[in-house]
Chain A
Amino acid sequence: IAGITQAPTSQILAAGRRMTLRCTQDMRHNAMYWYRQDLGLGLRLIHYSNTAGTTGKGEVPDGYSVSRANTDDFPLTLASAVPSQTSVYFCASSPTSNNEQFFGPGTRLTVL
């Protein structure tokens, strides 16, 4: 692994299903973030984690949950997907919350 990876690359999901988006980084960064990017809007923060074992809510957290059991992994779970969660999801990390963020390649999610 080099940098930050996300899986899956893309997914089509039926409404009401549960889905976990995976994010892993090997840079030993303390801070990690989940964003969604929708056409015509800026990146919007869903959840973040400043260090392993802690998480916080961003601008649009409803319908999403995260965990940070270790430094490397930061999965995002949609408990019961809805069509408005159709988006491109980016995971990012930074050495600390003071530094620039490095982004994963993104997951394109479609909820039907």
Chain B
Amino acid sequence: GQNIDQPTEMTATEGAIVQINCTYQTSGFNGLFWYQQHAGEAPTFLSYNVLDGLEEKGRFSSFLSRSKGYSYLLLKELQMKDSASYLCAVRDKDYQLIWGAGTKLIIKP
């Protein structure tokens, strides 16, 4: 079967750095996405990785290792508005997205 694993919840301090991990086992691989979802709102796109390595976009970076079936999302200089759920999704051989259950990130002052 296909499986995406992420921690259920993480807590971090404002101004700090946090790393959210995602491991996957899917039927084929055609890219990995990270989305942000604030409570009661729709998911919004953050990043996309299809090749191994680090993609940096402002305060957010995403890393991929295809051989290990592993990705992480790195958030720097945390702000209170970063309190949200972070969803990892893998595009499988049929170009459909398989989604993890999401990691709820709580930012404390």
Chain A residues 62 to 102 lying within 8 A of chain B, measured CB to CB, are: 90, 97-98, 100-102
Where the two chains meet, the residues of B that have a C-beta atom closer than 8 Å to any C-beta of A are 4, 33, 41-45, 48, 87, 89, 95-102
Report whether A58 and B96 are in contact in the complex, using a CB–CB cutoff of 8 Å.
yes
How long is the Cα–Cα vector from A105 to B44 in the complex, in angstroms? 10
**Residues in A whose Cβ lies below 8 Å from that of B100:** 42
Contact B45 A41 (CB under 8 A): no
Partner of B44, one of A45, A58, A97, A103: A103
Q: Which residues of B contact A90 (CB under 8 A)?
A: 42-43
User: What are 12 A-B interface contacts by the 8 Å CB criterion?
Assistant: A40-B101, A41-B101, A42-B4, A42-B100, A42-B101, A42-B102, A43-B43, A45-B96, A100-B45, A101-B45, A103-B42, A106-B41
Give the dominant DSSP class at A's interface: loop
Whether B96 contacts A42 by the Cβ 8 Å rule is: no
* Across-interface contacts of B95 in A (CB, < 8 A): 97-98
* Given A42-B4, A42-B89, A103-B43, 4 more pairs with CB closer than 8 A: A45-B96, A48-B96, A90-B43, A105-B41
Complex contacts, A43 vs chain B, CB 8 Å: 43, 87, 89, 97, 99
